[in-house]
């Protein structure tokens, strides 16, 4: 594990945590002597990453409002930037995969790589607290921050919201027109966005598209 830990910028005191973080559910299902995969660590790492990203942008983006900071945080912690970071350190070669997952090219799949990055952050947090997780965040994820900041998600809050909803198994957001006001050439549209049949945000704009975008911004701020 030495090469991987060098790339991560952190050496685990408890190597079992590192091994678990690298264990995909498909491997555990095929190996009767493996008791745990990385799903619980992924859950923890997702929360740790969200806090680290929020703290970073709060400190470095002093003029950003809540909506902008939320979009930056959500984008940095989304699948594509995390998968890029994983590829940059050759993480795929270290993940323990089941035979079927391995043969289908799982080690190159964006979602699998991103999930494993989150699991590593969760494992580091358990091993050495937030400073340990911050080592990985600073050494692996932040160097690719510009790529994340330049992604379409910053200007596409609807896309960022959809990724969050699907990642949390909540289905796709549904946008519903609440009201339409004003003269034909000066209309104001108000839209609500539902996730899992619950209202998560309401936005207004001079077009339905703009109103949906503002509703997504409000929803992202709510889940921040």
Residue of 118, 127, 134, 163 marked catalytic: 118
131: Cα within 13 Å, side-chain hemisphere = 2
Residue of 37, 42, 46, 134 marked catalytic: 46
Known catalytic membership, residue 36 = no
* Residue 157, number of CB atoms within 10 A of its CB: 26
What distance in Å separates the CA atoms of residue 119 and residue 23, rounded to the nearest whole number?
9
Give DSSP secondary structure letters for 107-173. Answer: GG-HHHHHHHHHHHHHHHHHHHHHHHHHHHIIIIIGGGHHHHHTSGGGG-HHHHHHHHHHHTT----
What distance in Å separates the CA atoms of residue 9 and residue 41, rounded to the nearest whole number?
19
Please name every residue paired with 180 in a beta bridge, in sequence order, or none if there are none.
Answer: 189
Known catalytic membership, residue 108 = no
Catalytic residue set:
46, 118
């Amino acid at each position: 594990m030495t090469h991987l830990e060098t790339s991560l910028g952190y050496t685990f005191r408890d190597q079992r945590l590192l091994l678990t973080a690298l264990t995909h559910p498909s491997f555990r299902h095929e190996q009767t002597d493996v008791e745990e995969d990385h799903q619980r660590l992924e859950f923890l790492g997702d929360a740790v990453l969200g806090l680290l990203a929020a703290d970073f942008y709060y400190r470095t983006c002093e003029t950003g409002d809540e909506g902008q900071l939320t979009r930056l945080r959500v984008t940095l912690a989304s699948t594509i930037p995390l998968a890029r970071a994983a590829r940059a350190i050759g993480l795929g070669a270290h993940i323990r995969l089941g035979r079927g997952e391995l043969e289908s090219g799982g080690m190159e799949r964006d979602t699998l790589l991103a999930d494993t990055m989150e699991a590593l952050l969760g494992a580091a947090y358990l091993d050495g607290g937030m400073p340990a997780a911050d080592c990985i965040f600073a050494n692996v994820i932040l160097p690719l921050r510009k790529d994340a900041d330049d992604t379409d998600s910053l200007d596409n809050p609807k896309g960022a919201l959809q990724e969050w909803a699907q990642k949390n198994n909540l289905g796709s957001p549904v946008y519903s027109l609440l009201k339409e006001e004003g003269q034909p050439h000066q209309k104001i549209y108000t839209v609500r966005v539902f996730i899992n049949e619950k209202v998560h945000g309401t936005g207004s704009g001079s077009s339905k598209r703009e109103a949906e975008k503002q509703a997504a911004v409000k929803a992202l701020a709510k889940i921040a």
